[in-house]
A and B are shown apart, each in its own frame.
Chain A
Amino acid sequence: MHIIESAVLGQLLEAIAARGYALIGPTLREGAIVCDTIRSVDDLPRGYGDVQSPARYELRRVDDGTYFSYVVGPVSWKKFLFPPRMTLFSATRTGKTMSVVPGSNGTAPPMLAFIGVRPCELSAIDVQDRVFLQGDYIDPTYKSIRDNCFFLVVNCAVTGGNCFCASMGTGPAAKAGYDIVLTEIVDGDHHFFAAEAGSDRGKEVLDAVPHASAGDVEKEQAAGVTARAASSLTKQMDVEGLPQILKENFDHPAWDDVARRCLLCANCTMVCPTCFCSTVEDTTDLGGTRADRLRRWDSCFTQDFAKVAGGNVRPSARARYRQWLTHKLSNWVDQFGTMGCVGCGRCITWCPAGIDITVEAGMIRGHNTQE
């Protein structure tokens, strides 16, 4: 474990950028902390925290100069690995002949460094890896970006009001899969990061910036930060036997109850870091000689999602909410070997009706956890 002084954080980012990576990290945008292109440490939302609860997100100021005293915002890293809108291919037609070129059309994939990935988000990327890289087919766009991706993970020192990573086994400390993991520590006047490398290239970057060796004190402090974070969590998902319970309760009255509240707005699926449903769109130019086929994000909450010839298999709100929850917490296990949920709490924050996935799962289980 290394110690990196807070003043060196900027150099750390520069070192990563110098190795050819475009930095993507947390930054302030219209009252929220989102993931976007950053140029330097100055773009980080230093001194900010967030307050989250069902249907509520607010920024607040913190006075200790910390860089990472917030959790997750409405944008997740899936935006960069699984772009919301993307050209699959372009078809050109001249007379009767049609030819097709792939959307990427020879352009090199970007080399991205994700700065400030939270442990739950790292798990979310692993979840999406299973979908796009480890099945019968591989998504070439996802793979080409993912292969080059540099992960600078930050362990959580504070937790959000909607977070439940511990019960999902995904945080607040990262276990593996990062290039570098930082834990931010404020000890009186001393503001520094405990840093560990999880890969050769991560080690190489850490070695390239001023650092010291961590002693037992610092190691204990780092462990203490994430332990305190874990105990500050206020929500949890009871996952024991949950996949089977959901399968067995297809007609539970709780589905009707949540259906009365759910607006089918699809916010949850958009902010969720693991939701992967997509649809295709075909556009032509005015002359009718060129047609583009685009892929864009879709949501099982939309009216058209379950259209079939002559009807719709899921017309009701009840069926759509049930589909989302059952997929996330039950079917996903059959399909990919893990649950789809990582406990980041975004769906709770950004649901205008404040629907809480941990509460709804609990309702199906039979406990009434509402106050």
Chain B
Amino acid sequence: MTHEAIHASVMSPDPMLAHPVTIKRVIWETDDTFTLQIDMGDFGSDYGFRPGQFNMLYVFGAGEAAISISSDPAQPRGLAHTIHRVGVVTTRLAQLKRGDMIGVRGPFGSSWPIDVARGKDVCLVAGGIGLAPLRPVMYALLRERTAFERIILLYGARSPLDLLFRVELEEWAKERNVEVLVTVDRGDSSWKGHIGVVTNLFSYLKLDARATLAYVCGPETMMKFTIDELERRGLPESQILLSMERNMKCAVGFCGHCQYGPEFICKDGPVFTLPRVRHLLDKKEL
């Protein structure tokens, strides 16, 4: 199945039922972020996802966490999630080893559109763990390299030790007409790259604003200042997409927790075009 042909499938008629799967491999990316590769077992045959979608991962007795899928949509059996250890459930996930079982349900949510990017420049702007849901986009774009024009990845992290997927970043930079610019908020004397906010990286680029689609993912503050910068550089708001995040209990629009104004982030999002949510972004305590 191509990643385009896959319809967001719910794995059973009961969308709240977790399906047991096995952990195939655990990769520690940094000291607080790790990737779980999943052996889907029986569900692999029907499972597919689009870039930007997420699964609910269940840990026995501890609860669920909504985690973006960070693997290649064209290889659904290679399902993987890159997880930042930050709360109760993610801490339990961090303790798991190869062979342990967790529950999975999904995929859920809207996705980064790939079709509309054909013939255009694509600029991915990632902050921190925000690179994880954008990695599937990069895979999709590189898989059909000639369908897209310039590909730019701007990635900001806290420090050099917090950078994810360093090997892949270098590999992507070698691809035809792909630029990868990486910056950190602070560095030591061994870091020879950029230091500063991710939006500063735009100073080193000349964007063709009318032909560029920008996909932005990271902490909300970072996304807001990135949007400001993109608009300062002339990108129309319809060409800017972002991925929002809220607390989720169900992921199917029933529990009400993820509401953002009238939007359910779990099913109307998490990926939104800027025009749809921009009037909500500045509302405090929405």
Interface residues of A (CB under 8 A from B): 88-89, 91, 93, 96-100, 102, 131-132, 135-140, 250, 276-280, 282-284, 288, 291, 293, 295, 298, 300, 305-310, 313-316, 318-319, 323, 327, 330-331, 334-335
User: How far apart are the CA atoms of A293 and B249 in the complex, in Å?
Assistant: 11
Q: Measured between C-beta atoms, what is the minimum distance from A278 to chain B in Å?
A: 5
Q: For A143, give the chain B residue with the smallest CB separation.
A: B13
- Which of these, B14, B60, B283, contacts A91 with CB under 8 Å? B60
Residues of B within 8 A of A99 (CB): 20
Inter-subunit contact A131/B254 (CB<8 Å): yes
Beyond A278-B254, A280-B64, list 19 extra A-B contacts (CB 8 Å): A91-B58, A96-B100, A97-B101, A98-B20, A100-B17, A132-B254, A135-B253, A136-B252, A137-B267, A280-B255, A293-B58, A295-B16, A306-B247, A308-B245, A308-B246, A309-B86, A323-B286, A327-B256, A335-B262
Asked if B155 is at the interface (CB within 8 A of a chain A CB), the reply is: no
Inter-subunit contact A250/B257 (CB<8 Å): no
Asked if A277 meets B86 with Cβ closer than 8 Å, knowing A88-B16, A100-B17, A102-B14, the reply is: no
Asked if B31 is at the interface (CB within 8 A of a chain A CB), the reply is: no
Residues of B within 8 A of A291 (CB): 60-61
Q: For A314, give the chain B residue with the smallest CB separation.
A: B285
Mark each residue of chain B from 232 to 250: 1 if its CB lies under 8 Å from any CB of chain A, else 0. Answer: 0000000000000111011
Asked if A309 meets B87 with Cβ closer than 8 Å, knowing A98-B101, A277-B257, A335-B262, the reply is: yes
- Which of these, A138, A282, A306, A307, contacts B61 with CB under 8 Å? A282
- Which of these, B18, B245, B250, contacts A278 with CB under 8 Å? B250
Q: Can you give 8 A-B contacts (C-beta < 8 A)?
A: A135-B253, A136-B253, A137-B253, A276-B256, A277-B256, A284-B61, A305-B247, A315-B285
Residues of B within 8 A of A306 (CB): 246-247, 257
User: How far apart are the CA atoms of A284 and B262 in the complex, in Å?
Assistant: 35
Asked if A331 meets B246 with Cβ closer than 8 Å, knowing A91-B103, A99-B20, A280-B63, the reply is: no
Asked if B172 is at the interface (CB within 8 A of a chain A CB), the reply is: no
**Interface of chain A, main secondary structure:** mixed
Residues of B within 8 A of A88 (CB): 16-17
Residues of A within 8 A of B253 (CB): 131, 135-137
Inter-subunit contact B18/A331 (CB<8 Å): no
Q: Measured between C-beta atoms, what is the minimum distance from A147 to chain B in Å?
A: 14
Inter-subunit contact A137/B101 (CB<8 Å): no
Residues of A within 8 A of B275 (CB): none
- Which of these, A131, A308, A319, A331, contacts B259 with CB under 8 Å? A331
Interface residues of B (CB under 8 A from A): 10, 13-20, 58, 60-64, 86-87, 99-103, 245-247, 249-250, 252-257, 259, 261-262, 264, 267, 283-286
Q: For B100, give the chain A residue with the smallest CB separation.
A: A96
Asked if A91 meets B61 with Cβ closer than 8 Å, knowing A102-B17, A331-B259, the reply is: yes
Q: For A326, give the chain B residue with the smallest CB separation.
A: B261
- Which of these, B14, B19, B61, B254, contacts A288 with CB under 8 Å? B61
Asked if A305 meets B257 with Cβ closer than 8 Å, knowing A93-B60, A280-B249, A335-B264, the reply is: yes
Inter-subunit contact A276/B254 (CB<8 Å): yes
List of 10 A-B pairs having minimum Cβ-Cβ separation, nearest first: A277-B256, A319-B285, A291-B61, A334-B262, A331-B262, A284-B61, A98-B101, A137-B252, A137-B15, A278-B255
User: How far apart are the CA atoms of A331 and B262 in the complex, in Å?
Assistant: 5
Inter-subunit contact B285/A277 (CB<8 Å): no
Inter-subunit contact A137/B254 (CB<8 Å): yes
Inter-subunit contact A307/B103 (CB<8 Å): no
Inter-subunit contact B62/A282 (CB<8 Å): yes
Inter-subunit contact B103/A98 (CB<8 Å): yes
- Which of these, A91, A250, A298, contacts B256 with CB under 8 Å? A298
Residues of A within 8 A of B257 (CB): 277, 279, 298, 305-306
User: How far apart are the CA atoms of A4 and B238 in the complex, in Å?
Assistant: 63
Residues of B within 8 A of A280 (CB): 63-64, 249-250, 255
Q: For A290, give the chain B residue with the smallest CB separation.
A: B61
Inter-subunit contact B101/A96 (CB<8 Å): yes
Residues of A within 8 A of B246 (CB): 306, 308, 313
Asked if A277 meets B262 with Cβ closer than 8 Å, knowing A100-B18, A316-B285, the reply is: no
